[in-house]
Amino acid sequence: MSTPSLDDMLDDLRTLVEIESPSGDLAALGASAGAVASILERRLGGRAVLVDSPAGPHVRWSGGGPPRVLVLGHHDTVFPVGTLARRPFTVQNGKAYGPGVFDMLGGLVQAVHGLALLDDRSGVEILVGCDEEVGSGASRALIEDLARQCRAALVFEGAGEGGALKTGRKGCGTFEVVVTGRAAHAGLEPEAGVNALVEAAHQVLAIAALNRPQAGTTVTPTVATAGTASNVVPAAATVTVDVRVETQAETERVEKAFATLAPAGTARLEVRGGIGRPPMPESAALELLALAQRFDPTLTGVRVGGGSDGNLTAAVGTPTLDGLGAVGGGAHADHEYLLTAAMPERARLTAHLVKNLLR
């Protein structure tokens, strides 16, 4: 098997990084989708199609024939427009830096250049979503439909530590607890009000008690807002909660607990959100990990707490291997980077997996 050109890969990576693409910015995502489509067509031939959605355009490319292997990625990032001016794309000392290089533009480039090594790509379906960083609400149905048609899903999120493949993920979701009280003057007649902040404090303690770390469950209040002025009994408060679970049983327990939250006083409660991504069990990746290890016996699998679109493909019963993307670190942080020397070899791993899955 030949080795792709690192210079060509870095050129494509630069192109994608320098078109900033924060989730929810429809203009930026439109430009980014166009760049992804152009790279797909130039490197793989055929035609890439932009699939419109309320969240922006997804990019889909097909190698023709019945779908057999789904290659999954996303082109949205967590960094707002303007980050590039402060942190431009650079390559130095064997590392590439810039917003989104690790999560997950580098993985997209590796996937495309790996597929370009194959003479026959019939049966390959590529889907690059525009809303993975905000939960894949607008791409979920398309992802699940394609996954059901394929015998395997390969997800190009960044690799685990040391280049490990991701063979299991926790289910994850976000809840929002909205508390409605009644405003009053805090000095003249506080008893006439219903203090939403006090109620929110009771709820935070009740929510934190849902933690079961021994079962792999974390329930973490992360953001709270309340009040309008120092002399006003707060009439409204909101608590945002991050939830991670390892099993379906824990998913059901936590969702039931949120659904049955009761106020400690006379304020009203409304619970929004849920666990949108189900757990990805390690059993979904066993066969594919073994296939990857035929290419490189040193590859290992790791279970991680973060979610991805791999959770969705595994949940519909499709064997799924994640973490095939960039080797590096610093996802969602200013020091985000990837190791450039690993890029051609990860592309070759992609070609090995897809070639064998298409047989």
Q: What is the pLDDT at residue 25?
A: 98
Within-domain flag for 112: yes
Same domain, 262 and 140: no
CATH for 248 = 3.30.70.360
Listed residues 252, 277, 302: the one ending a domain: 277
What's the pLDDT band for 1 if we cut at 50, 70, 90?
confident
Same domain, 32 and 140: yes
Within-domain flag for 188: yes
CATH for 26 = 3.40.630.10
Within-domain flag for 240: yes
Same domain, 269 and 320: no
**What are the beta bridge partners of residue 237?**
179, 226
Listed residues 245, 277, 309: the one ending a domain: 277
Mean pLDDT of 45-67: 98
Cβ contacts of residue 42 below 8 Å, gap of 6+?
A: none
281-339 pLDDT, tens digit each: 999 999 999 999 999 999 999 999 999 999 999 999 999 999 999 999 999 999 999 99
Same domain, 71 and 213: no
Mean pLDDT of 236-246: 97
Residue 50, Cβ density class (10 Å: 0-12 exposed, 13-18 middle, ≥19 buried): middle
* C-alpha separations of 38 from 32, 35, 57, 146 in Å: 10, 5, 14, 22
Within-domain flag for 66: yes
For residue 280, is the peptide bond before it cis, meaning its omega torsion is within 30 degrees of 0? Answer: no
Mean pLDDT of 79-106: 98
Within-domain flag for 200: yes
Within-domain flag for 73: yes
Within-domain flag for 1: no
Same domain, 262 and 295: no
Same domain, 294 and 254: no
Q: What is the DSSP string of 149-167?
A: HSSEEEE-PPP-GGG-EEE
Three-state DSSP at 209 gives: coil
Same domain, 323 and 266: no
Q: What is the pLDDT at residue 223?
A: 98
Q: How many structural domains comprise the chain?
A: 2
Three-state DSSP at 169 gives: strand
Listed residues 244, 277, 310: the one ending a domain: 277
174-211 pLDDT, tens digit each: 999 999 999 999 999 999 999 999 999 999 999 999 99
**What are the beta bridge partners of residue 223?**
240
pLDDT > 90 in the chain, percent:
99
Q: What is the pLDDT at residue 266?
A: 97
Same domain, 136 and 273: no
Q: Which residue has 């945002």 as its token pair?
A: 240
pLDDT over threshold 90, residue 53: yes
Mean pLDDT of 200-226: 97
Mean pLDDT of 258-269: 98
Same domain, 230 and 159: no
pLDDT over threshold 90, residue 218: yes
Same domain, 41 and 189: no
Same domain, 16 and 67: yes
Same domain, 84 and 199: no
CA distance 18 to 35: 10
* Strands laid side by side in the 236-245 sheet: 218-226, 236-245, 171-180, 268-277
Within-domain flag for 196: yes
Q: What is the mean pLDDT of the chain?
A: 97
What's the pLDDT band for 57 if we cut at 50, 70, 90?
very high
134-179 pLDDT, tens digit each: 999 999 999 999 999 999 999 999 999 999 999 999 999 999 999 9
Domain that holds residue 110: 6-169+280-358
Locate 118 and state its tokens. Answer: 């194959």
